Amino acid sequence: MADQDPVFQIQRVYLKEASLEQPNSPAILLEQEQPSVDIQLGVEAAPVAEGVFEVCVTATVQTKIQDKTVFLVEAKQAGIFEIRNLAQEQLGQIMGIACPQIVYPYLRGNVADLIQRAGFPPVHLSEINFQAMYEQQQAESAGGLSQ
C-alpha cells in the first residue's frame, strides 16, 4: 500500500538559461530619461522520466528609452521534481502552482543579480500568484476548446 502514497520531492533547482544584451551601449547609458520596463513571465512543464518532471519559469525583462533598448535580460530557472501517485488534475496543479512557487524566488534573485552586474539598478520581479495565473490559463484553454 505504501507504493501508492503520493510523492512530491524536489530533485534539483538550477539556472537553465540566462542572457543579457545591451545593444545600444555605451551611448544609451548617457541618456537622462527614465527607461520604460516591460516584464514577461512564462511557465512550462515537461516530463523527464517516469514520475519525474522539469518545470521552468521564464522571465524576459526589457528596458527601453523611446524605441532604443537599454538592456534585455532573458532567464529561465528550472526545477526537477519527482511527482508520483497523483490524479491528473492534481498533477497539473502541482506543476502549474507549487513547482513554479518553489523555482520563482531563485529566478527573481538571478535576474536582479544579472541586471546589477551589468551596471544597472536591480529590477526586482514582483511576487506572483501562481494559483491565479494557473486558473486563468485553465479558463483560457477551456474557453478555447468550447468554441
Percent of the chain with pLDDT over 70: 95
For residue 124, report the phi and psi dihedrals to the nearest 5 degrees. -95, 115
User: 3-state DSSP: the chain helix, strand, coil percent, rounded to 5?
Assistant: 35, 40, 25
Contact 75, 114 (CB under 8 A): yes
Is residue 73 within 8 A of residue 58, CB to CB? The reply is no
The span from the CA of 80 to the CA of 43, in Å, is 14
Average pLDDT on 119-129 reads 90
Per-residue confidence band for 146, with pLDDT thresholds at 50, 70 and 90: very low
All domains of the chain, ordered by start, with CATH? 2-139 (3.10.420.10)
For 89, the enclosing helix (H) or strand (E) is helix 88-93
Do you find a cis peptide bond into 26, omega within 30 degrees of 0? Answer: yes
The DSSP letter of residue 29 is G
Tell me how far apart the alpha carbons of residues 66 and 52 are, in angstroms, rounded to a whole number. Answer: 45
Q: Average pLDDT over the chain, rounded to whole?
A: 92
